Chain A
Amino acid sequence: MTGHYQIVLADLRERTRRFGFLATIGLAALLGYQIVAGVFHLRLGAYRGVLNSAWIGTLTALTLGFFLSLVGFFLVRGSVERDRSTGVGQVLASTRMSRIGYVVARFAANLIVLLTVVAVLAVAAAVMALLHAEVPGLDLGPLLAPLVVIAVPVAIVVAAVAVFFDCVPALRGSTGNVVYCALWLITLPFAGGGLLGFTAVEGAASATLRSGGFDAPGGIVLGVGEHDELTTFLWAGADWGTIAVGRLYLIVVATLLVAAAIVAFDRFASADARPTARLKRRRRTAAPAPPSPPAPPAPGSVASDEHRSGFLTEPVVRSSHPVACFAALVAGEFRLLIAGRSVFWYAGAATLVIAALVLPIDAVRILLPIAWIWPVVPWSESGGRARRHGVDALLGAAPSPVLRQLPAAWLSGVLLALAIGSGALVRFLAYPELLVGFAAGALFIPTLAIALGTAGAGERVFQVLAMVAWYLGPLNGVAPLDITGANYAALAAGVPIGYLAAVPVLLVATVASATARVTR
């Protein structure tokens, strides 16, 4: 058992020293601050609770559950993947480590990270109760109970889902990121209330209101914005014990997920288990010294010219035409975008192009944002690909690394947008007013991807941003996020023009951050 404890410990050490963890704690603190500053509000129809410890605890718990369910997943997932890509996994696999022990240890490490976030928010809630409560005083019981009953089970489930996604081969890596995003967006409307505790709080608060003589309170809403005109009522907390019992099924769900992960875990034995991260040649042992080379020249002598015949005779043209070179680089970058995807991916891309050619124009407008979700994984890799694969040292030794390679990478991303949107583009030619939306999407989306990648944000950031913007913008009509103007309202408001204008700004920032990195 101590061995597994060591795995948890080593994993935690590694994670807590990564920038991502600090960023998340920072983000959690920021979220806590937003709650303290009163940005988030919880209301029940036209009512809200008086700001006392119990209401603040409930508000914090619901906000946190929501946050953990999306961001928390991306925070903790990938530890198994990391072991695989660094080769540490194969070292562990050669020990007596058991599958159960390893997966449970990874789950435990996930959980500890998420519980750290819960702890940060608990402190934030206490601060709010001290500073901003309308009923002064800190009442720890009612403040912490909802965090334990609502947020902790969410943390447990998310930790289990993350380890499950890490262990199931089909859900590893970027595919899993996109699948999780999609699942989250789809299930939230109907399963979210129960999972994240909204339904339970709604029931308890309605009961409180009715017993106080108020009528028909209406649904629970967690939101951002003004709440002064709401009628207040005194909330002393729910019967958290009963609610906790009702949420025990989440523990069962988490257990089942971990069990499934154990079954799916291949102990790093799959065919592609070769470490994909940069080659750590240090780890390999040197081959024994070979016999002397055939004809070593005397030390200090200069190899004679006759030695050179027979190999590397090709005269080298050190600089080809710059335009030809740039074209070759763009082709190379484009190949990097699309090489190695599954057959399913290519087929889907082709289907999207063809569908755009045949569907009615209003359907094509909705289809275009979907088509541009398709390459979200390749795009998310741009900007950070060389660093991730350890090719940056090779590229950095070539002339003008930033000014040659970055524009080529950017252009290849735009070309991919054009390729997958080509069906829609052909149709839009008959509707010139739609072209600005097309241009905005084709330019802005890949530009954002490379800007984030260059800044070192990591692939998940772009993937999640793109998925959420797509879900809220084109699908749910939140105009400011509707980059391509899939809805008329967004088009009329000139949203695409705003995004087009942002492209040069992002590009300048990208070149600046890439230059800063190279010349460090």
Chain B
Amino acid sequence: MELQILELGKVYRRGVVALREITLRAEPGVIGLLGPNGAGKSTLMRILATVARPTSGSVLWNGTDIGKRPDALRRELGYLPQDFGVYPNLNAVEFLRYLAAAKGLTGRPARRRIDELLEYVNLTDAAHRPIGGYSGGMRQRVGIAQALLNDPQLLIVDEPTVGLDPAERARFRDMISHLAGERIVILSTHIVSDVEAVATSIAMVAGGRLLRHARPADLVGELSGRVWTTLHRAGDTADLERSGLVVRMVRRPDGVECRVVSDRAPDPSAEPAEPTLEDVYMALARDGQPVEPRIAERA
């Protein structure tokens, strides 16, 4: 099982370039797609889900070009779009049965699968109410359930946890780590803690470019020795902010604690700190450039 993305590019009408030359190879496991708003995450996922076409490049699923033969992938695909709707007059069971039939699944196996999925996303009690009356998070869970209908080999979920309450969020992450065994899961988010724990690898995207694709531990390792915390008096941080090195500021009773990514200590009182994935993300989003791998070697 293998997904290969080759020099993928997408230009929307009016010349908006959403993706530039993305090349990436995915193997079973969870790929966390991280990037700021407008990075091109959804565009990439729509192309992988065969609902949009690239303007250049290609995607191979087990060696088959999905631009030419999309059905080869669609049979084994689960997709949760970032923006999707429901038929408000159907209840969850009816809606899922309808989508199951569209995916080529019906009868007793479909019914049992739907029951199980509804149980799994915690909607059994509401299953026979029209979806139009669901809360936002409940609808989101219907979306998650439909993505799993056909036991997909490739699961693409675009900001799946938005709108979920903390308990449902944890449940979802749990589910993703369970599912990830022998399938490929691609999960986009701009909330680092969503993928930190579950991702096998992290793909950082910004401005339509793939900045890095590596194991989380490697990404974090690249920053070791380059993260500092330093305490300033409130109103005294302007210089540091202007230097553009600050990735996070936390207000505390005794001043403002600044977290800084920099090769050298920003000031004599700065203390070295353990790098986190959040630091990597912030540093990348700040520079829009790959983190220098030589740092990793030195460390």
Binding site for B on A (CB under 8 A): 272, 274, 276-282, 284, 286-297, 299-300, 302-303, 305, 307-308, 311-322, 324-329, 332-333, 335-336, 339-340, 385, 389-401, 404-405, 519-520
> A290 vs B161: C-alpha distance in the bound complex, in angstroms?
11
Contacts of A333 in B (CB 8 A): 98
> A320 vs B113: C-alpha distance in the bound complex, in angstroms?
13
Does chain A have a CB within 8 A of B6? no
Contacts of A390 in B (CB 8 A): 83-86
Write the chain A residue with the least CB distance to B67: A519
Binding-face segment, B14-22, B168-176, B233-241: B168-176
Please state if A397 and B104 are interface contacts (CB–CB under 8 Å): no
Query: Closest 3 A-B residue pairs measured CB to CB?
Result: A390-B85, A340-B89, A290-B166
A394: contacting residue among B99, B119, B132, B175, CB under 8 A: B99
Does chain A have a CB within 8 A of B299? no
Please state if A399 and B174 are interface contacts (CB–CB under 8 Å): no
Contacts of B196 in A (CB 8 A): 299
Please state if A293 and B197 are interface contacts (CB–CB under 8 Å): yes
> A327 vs B162: C-alpha distance in the bound complex, in angstroms?
35
> A305 vs B151: C-alpha distance in the bound complex, in angstroms?
16
Considering only residues 98-117 of chain B, those with a C-beta below 8 Å from chain A are: 98-107, 109-110, 112-113, 116-117
Please state if A276 and B88 are interface contacts (CB–CB under 8 Å): yes
In the assembled complex, how far is the CB of residue A166 from the closest CB belonging to chain B, in whole angstroms? 20
Contacts of A335 in B (CB 8 A): 90, 94, 98
Does chain A have a CB within 8 A of B200? yes
Write the chain B residue with the least CB distance to A392: B51
In the assembled complex, how far is the CB of residue B140 from the closest CB belonging to chain A, in whole angstroms? 7
Please state if B159 and A281 are interface contacts (CB–CB under 8 Å): yes
Does chain A have a CB within 8 A of B3? no
Binding-face segment, B72-80, B205-213, B249-257, B268-276: B72-80
Please state if B117 and A312 are interface contacts (CB–CB under 8 Å): yes
A399: contacting residue among B75, B106, B161, B163, CB under 8 A: B75
Does chain A have a CB within 8 A of B215? yes
Does chain A have a CB within 8 A of B217? yes
Size band of the B side of the interface? Answer: 35 or more
Please state if B85 and A278 are interface contacts (CB–CB under 8 Å): yes
> A520 vs B102: C-alpha distance in the bound complex, in angstroms?
20
> A399 vs B61: C-alpha distance in the bound complex, in angstroms?
15
Please state if A284 and B177 are interface contacts (CB–CB under 8 Å): no
Please state if A308 and B51 are interface contacts (CB–CB under 8 Å): no
> Given contacts A277-B85, A279-B84, are A293 and B173 in contact (CB under 8 A)?
yes
In the assembled complex, how far is the CB of residue B135 from the closest CB belonging to chain A, in whole angstroms? 9
Known: A385-B87, A395-B102, A396-B49. 18 other contacts (CB 8 A): A277-B85, A278-B85, A287-B161, A287-B163, A287-B165, A289-B166, A300-B215, A303-B181, A313-B116, A314-B113, A319-B75, A320-B110, A324-B107, A332-B98, A332-B101, A340-B88, A389-B86, A396-B51
In the assembled complex, how far is the CB of residue B91 from the closest CB belonging to chain A, in whole angstroms? 9
Does chain A have a CB within 8 A of B188? no
> Given contacts A279-B83, A289-B191, A293-B173, are A397 and B166 in contact (CB under 8 A)?
no
Please state if A288 and B166 are interface contacts (CB–CB under 8 Å): yes
Please state if A281 and B217 are interface contacts (CB–CB under 8 Å): no
Please state if B163 and A281 are interface contacts (CB–CB under 8 Å): yes
Does chain A have a CB within 8 A of B10? no
Please state if B84 and A318 are interface contacts (CB–CB under 8 Å): no
Please state if B177 and A293 are interface contacts (CB–CB under 8 Å): yes
> A303 vs B200: C-alpha distance in the bound complex, in angstroms?
11
Contacts of A320 in B (CB 8 A): 104-107, 109-110
> Given contacts A299-B217, A302-B181, are A394 and B197 in contact (CB under 8 A)?
no
Please state if B85 and A391 are interface contacts (CB–CB under 8 Å): yes
> Given contacts A279-B85, A279-B139, A289-B193, are A396 and B107 in contact (CB under 8 A)?
no
Write the chain B residue with the least CB distance to A280: B83
Contacts of B197 in A (CB 8 A): 292-293, 296, 299
In the assembled complex, how far is the CB of residue B170 from the closest CB belonging to chain A, in whole angstroms? 5
> A45 vs B210: C-alpha distance in the bound complex, in angstroms?
76
Binding site for A on B (CB under 8 A): 28-29, 46, 49-53, 71, 74-79, 81-90, 94, 97-107, 109-110, 112-113, 116-117, 119-120, 130, 132-133, 136, 139-140, 143, 146, 148, 150-151, 159, 161-167, 169-171, 173-175, 177-182, 191, 193-194, 196-201, 215-217
Write the chain B residue with the least CB distance to A322: B104
Contacts of A396 in B (CB 8 A): 49-51
Please state if A317 and B105 are interface contacts (CB–CB under 8 Å): yes
Please state if B170 and A294 are interface contacts (CB–CB under 8 Å): yes
> A315 vs B136: C-alpha distance in the bound complex, in angstroms?
30
> A519 vs B175: C-alpha distance in the bound complex, in angstroms?
32
In the assembled complex, how far is the CB of residue A325 from the closest CB belonging to chain B, in whole angstroms? 5
> Given contacts A399-B104, A401-B102, are A312 and B120 in contact (CB under 8 A)?
yes
Contacts of A307 in B (CB 8 A): 177-178
Which residue, A272, A393, A401, has most C-beta atoms of chain B within 10 A? A393
A329: contacting residue among B50, B71, B101, CB under 8 A: B101
> A146 vs B105: C-alpha distance in the bound complex, in angstroms?
64
Which residue, B82, B83, B112, B146, has most C-beta atoms of chain A within 10 A? B83
Write the chain A residue with the least CB distance to B146: A394
> A317 vs B201: C-alpha distance in the bound complex, in angstroms?
30
In the assembled complex, how far is the CB of residue B201 from the closest CB belonging to chain A, in whole angstroms? 8
Please state if A318 and B75 are interface contacts (CB–CB under 8 Å): yes
> Given contacts A290-B170, A305-B181, A312-B116, are A284 and B101 in contact (CB under 8 A)?
no
Please state if B162 and A317 are interface contacts (CB–CB under 8 Å): no
Please state if A339 and B90 are interface contacts (CB–CB under 8 Å): yes
Which residue, A278, A394, A395, A399, has most C-beta atoms of chain B within 10 A? A394
Please state if A286 and B191 are interface contacts (CB–CB under 8 Å): yes
Contacts of B98 in A (CB 8 A): 328-329, 332-333, 335-336
Please state if B198 and A296 are interface contacts (CB–CB under 8 Å): yes
> A397 vs B155: C-alpha distance in the bound complex, in angstroms?
11
Please state if A274 and B71 are interface contacts (CB–CB under 8 Å): no
- Provide a sorted-by-A list of 19 A–B residue pairs whose CB atoms are within 8 angstroms: A279-B85, A279-B86, A281-B140, A284-B163, A296-B177, A297-B198, A308-B181, A314-B112, A320-B109, A325-B101, A325-B104, A335-B98, A391-B85, A393-B84, A394-B84, A396-B49, A397-B77, A401-B102, A519-B53
In the assembled complex, how far is the CB of residue A380 from the closest CB belonging to chain B, in whole angstroms? 16
In the assembled complex, how far is the CB of residue A327 from the closest CB belonging to chain B, in whole angstroms? 8
Write the chain B residue with the least CB distance to A330: B101
Please state if B97 and A332 are interface contacts (CB–CB under 8 Å): yes
In the assembled complex, how far is the CB of residue B149 from the closest CB belonging to chain A, in whole angstroms? 8
